[in-house]
Amino acid sequence: MKYLAEFRDGEIAQRLAAEIRAITTRPWAIMEVCGGQTHSILRNGIDQLLPPEIELIHGPGCPVCVTPLDMIDKALAIAAIPNVIFTSFGDMLRVPGSDRDLFRVKSEGGDVRIVYSPLDAVQIARENPTKQVVFFGIGFETTAPANAMAVHVAKREGLTNFSMLVSHVLVPPAIDAIMSAPGNRVQAFLAAGHVCSVMGFWQYPPLAAKHHVPIVITGFEPLDVLEGIRRTVQCLERNEAKVDNAYARVVTFDGNAAAQALLEEVFAVTDRAWRGIGVIPASGWRLSAAYADYDAEHRFDVGAIRTTESAECRAGEVLQGAIKPSQCEAFGTRCTPRTPLGATMVSSEGACAAYFNYGRFHTLERASSATRDSNTSPKAATVG
C-alpha cells in the first residue's frame, strides 16, 4: 500500500537504528503514549534494534484498557436488555467486566454486533426502527470525530432509537498526570500521531515547558517510530525540552478544524476515571447538553452498578509504566489472553497482551548485542 510500505523498509530501519546508537550517550526513558505505537514496537521488534540505554515505557494510550470498569459493566447490562442491538468495535468484545464480557452476553442471547465504523451503527438503527440501537463510543481524540458524526447524523435524522454510550479519554491530561505522579521516570514522550492529526499539537508546548520534557509527534510504521525515537534522543542529549513533529506528512500544528468544530458541539469535557489509574480531572469527553437525548447512560436505567476489579491485577501500574507486564506475578500464569484479569491482557494494544502474544516472557536476544559490553540490558525479557 502506498504511504505504508515505504515506511517499513528494513534497510532504512537498520540505518535509523544505527543513527540512534551513534547519538545515544546515556540512559533515557521514553514513553510512547499510544497503544498503537506499543503494538507496532512489539510486533515489529523495534525495541530489539535500540541500544540498551533506551528504555521504552509503554503508556496508557489504549482506550480499551482504560475504559472504566463501571462503564464496561453498564455496556454489558445494556447489551443484555432484550430489544437492544448493542454495537461496538471488535476490540471491546473480550474486555472483562466485573463478571463477564460482551462475548458472553452475546452467547447468552444478547444481540451484540461488531461494526467497522460508527456510521454502520446508525445504519442499523435506520434498518431496525423497532429496536433500540446503542453504540459503544470509546476511544481517544482519533476516534471521537467519527463517534461525534454518528450521533450528529442520528440527531439530524431524528433517529430516536439510536443512542451512544460515551467514554472518551484525552491524551494531554494523561501526559500531565503521568509527569506529575511521584516516582515518575519518564523523560520524554512520543506523542500519538493520529490523535494529533485530529487535534494538532498546539496543546503540547505548554506541557513540554511545564515538565521540561521533549515531546515528539510520532507515527506508527517502523520507520516513523524509529525516527520519532531518534529525534527524541537528539532532544534529550541536547537537553532541549521542545515539541517536534516527526509525522509531518499527516500532522499539522492546528490539526483538523472541521473535526474540532463538531467535537466542540457534540462533546463536553468531564472528569474521567481511567481503569487501573484512577480519576484524572478533565480528561474525558461526554455528550454535551445538546445531545443529552442520545446519551445511552440517561436512556437506559441499568441500576446501581457495583464493580469488582480483580485484586491481583496490576494493569494500572503497567499503564503508567511503573512495571513491565512480565514483572507482574500473575502474568502468563493466572493472567493470560484466555483468562484475562484486566483489560491490558485483552486489548490488541494492551501492553500485557502484546508482551504475551509476542513472546516477551521468553528470552529473545536484543539486537546488536555484539557491540555492547556485558551489562545486562534493562530491556532483556524476563522469564515469566
Nearer CB in complex with another protein: 20/241: 20
Give least dist CB 43 to another protein, A: 6
SS3 216: strand
Nearer CB in complex with another protein: 130/371: 371
Nearer CB in complex with another protein: 28/220: 220
SS3 137: strand
Nearer CB in complex with another protein: 175/367: 367
CB 29 within 8 A of CB 342: no
Cα 4 to Cα 50, 98, 304, 325: the distances in Å are 22, 39, 47, 30
User: What dihedral do alpha carbons 290, 293, 295, 296 form, nearest 10°?
Assistant: 180
Host H or E run for residue 110 = none
CA–CA separation, 264 vs 262, rounded Å?
5
CA–CA separation, 337 vs 384, rounded Å?
15
Give least dist CB 5 to another protein, A: 9
Host H or E run for residue 278 = strand 278-287
Give least dist CB 226 to another protein, A: 8
Give least dist CB 214 to another protein, A: 19
Nearer CB in complex with another protein: 288/336: 336
Nearer CB in complex with another protein: 154/241: 154
Give least dist CB 258 to another protein, A: 5
* Non-local CB neighbours of 242 within 8 Å, separated by 6+ positions: 208, 214, 215, 235
Give least dist CB 310 to another protein, A: 18
Give least dist CB 64 to another protein, A: 6
Host H or E run for residue 311 = none
State in Å, rounded, how far the first CA of the chain is from the last one.
37
What DSSP character marks residue 81? S
CB 312 within 8 A of CB 334: yes
Nearer CB in complex with another protein: 97/139: 139
